[in-house]
Amino acid sequence: MKRISKVLVFILVLSISFSGISGTFADSKISVSRDVVKISEFELYSNLQAKSNDELIKMGYGKKQIEFLRNFDFEKKLRERAKLDKKFLAELGYSKEEIENLKNTDLSMKLNGGSDSGGVFATLTLETSKDYKTDDTVVVDFNWEWNHAPIYSGHDIVGISWEGVNNYGSDLQLRINRDYTYHKITMQKPGGTEIQNANIDVDNEYHAASFEFDMSYPVSSYTSAYAVSGEGQIMVNTTGTLPLNEMGMNIEYGHQAVTGYPSVDFSSGLSMSFDIIMAELAGVSDVYR
C-alpha cells in the first residue's frame, strides 16, 4: 500500500525553531496541525557567499549573478540601515527594541557569530495549518511574516504542491479549487497598511500552483511600501467517487536573493525547485489525514 511519509523540508536553513500541535474533532472532521519554520536573511546570504565560484556555477549562477553575490556587502548595508532615522526604521517594521539593538549593539559581533537575539536581522517565519478535511475536500492554511523589511527586496514566491491517496492505497486525483484558494499580502507603508491579492499561477490543477508577489514598491521619491506578511488558503477536492484517505502537501517560500526574474518548477511528487535567483528560504511538507 502506498503511504505518504511526513517530511520537513529545510533548505538553506542553519538554525530553525520547530513546533507542532495537533488535535481532532471527530464529529466535524475538523482538525488543527501546525508546522513552523524560521530563517534569517543573514543566514541566507552567509550560505550563498560561503560557496566557491565553481559551486555557484554548478548551481546555475551566471557571471553577473556571482558578481552580484560577491559585491553584496551585507554588513555595509546593515550599517547603513542602522544610521536611518528611528521613525523611518519604524516604518520598515522595526520594533522599538529592534531599533535600539540595531543602533546600539556591536553589529560585527552579531555578524561574525550569527547571533540575532535582538531582531537585528530580517527573519522570515512560515507557518502552515490544516483546518478542514473530509472524504473529498482538504483545506490548508498558510501564513508567513517578516519581523521587518529585509535588506534586499525583489519578487518572492510561495509554491505549493500536493498529492493524494485513496483508502485502497492508490493515487487519487485532487483538483485545486480556485474559488476558495487565495493569498493576501499585507503591505506596510508610511501611515498604515494595505492588502493586496497575489495572483495565482496554476502549473497543474491536479498537482501544483504558486503565488508571486513584489516585496516592495515605491510610494514616493524617498519612501517605499514593503510586504510584511501574507496569509492564504488552498482548497483541493477529489474528482471521483473514491474517498480521500490522506494527502501530502508541500508549501515553500522562495526569497529572491540576486538580480533577475524569479520562477519555480515542479517535478513529480511534492518536490519543487526555484530558479537560481531564488533562495528556497523555508518550507514545510506535511501529511493530512
pLDDT at residue 284 greater than cutoff 70: no
CB 278 within 8 A of CB 272: no
Look at residue 252 and tell me if it is in a domain. Answer: yes
pLDDT at residue 202 greater than cutoff 90: yes
Look at residue 153 and tell me if it is in a domain. Answer: yes
Q: Kindly report whether the global pTM for this prediction surpasses the value 0.85.
A: no
Look at residue 168 and tell me if it is in a domain. Answer: yes
Instruction: Give me the number of domains the chain comprises.
Output: 1
Range of the domain at 27: 20-72+125-288
Based on its alpha-carbon atoms, the radius of gyration of the chain, rounded to whole angstroms, reads 20
Q: Give the containing element (helix H, strand E) for 30.
A: strand 30-40
CA dist 253 and 197 (Å) reads 17
CA dist 219 and 236 (Å) reads 37
Look at residue 117 and tell me if it is in a domain. Answer: no
CA dist 202 and 163 (Å) reads 15
Read out DSSP for 106-117?
Answer: -HHHHHHH---T
List alpha helices for 83-212, DSSP H. Answer: 86-91, 96-104, 107-113
Look at residue 103 and tell me if it is in a domain. Answer: no
CB 216 within 8 A of CB 196: no
* Sign of the torsion formed by the C-alpha atoms of 173, 178, 179 and 184: positive
Model confidence at 286, pLDDT cuts 50, 70, 90, reads low
CA dist 84 and 149 (Å) reads 13
Q: Which residues contact 244 (CB under 8 A, 6 or more apart)?
A: 133, 134, 135, 136, 137, 138, 164, 165, 166, 172, 174, 238
Look at residue 35 and tell me if it is in a domain. Answer: yes
Look at residue 92 and tell me if it is in a domain. Answer: no
Q: Which of 24-33, 84-93, 220-229 has the lowest mean pLDDT?
A: 24-33
Q: Give the containing element (helix H, strand E) for 44.
A: helix 41-49
pLDDT at residue 123 greater than cutoff 70: yes
pLDDT value at position 17?
A: 23
DSSP, collapsed to helix, strand or coil, labels residue 84 as coil
pLDDT value at position 83?
A: 92
Please identify which residue in the block is written with the cell numbers 520537513: 8
CA dist 278 and 256 (Å) reads 4
Please state the rounded mean pLDDT for residues 142-150: 91
Between 179 and 39, where is the model more confident? 179
Considering the chain, what is the average pLDDT of its residues?
78
pLDDT at residue 28 greater than cutoff 80: no
Look at residue 49 and tell me if it is in a domain. Answer: yes
pLDDT value at position 13?
A: 26
pLDDT value at position 127?
A: 86
Name the β-bridge partners of 24: 31
**Directed axis angle between helix 41-49 and helix 63-71, to 10°?**
120
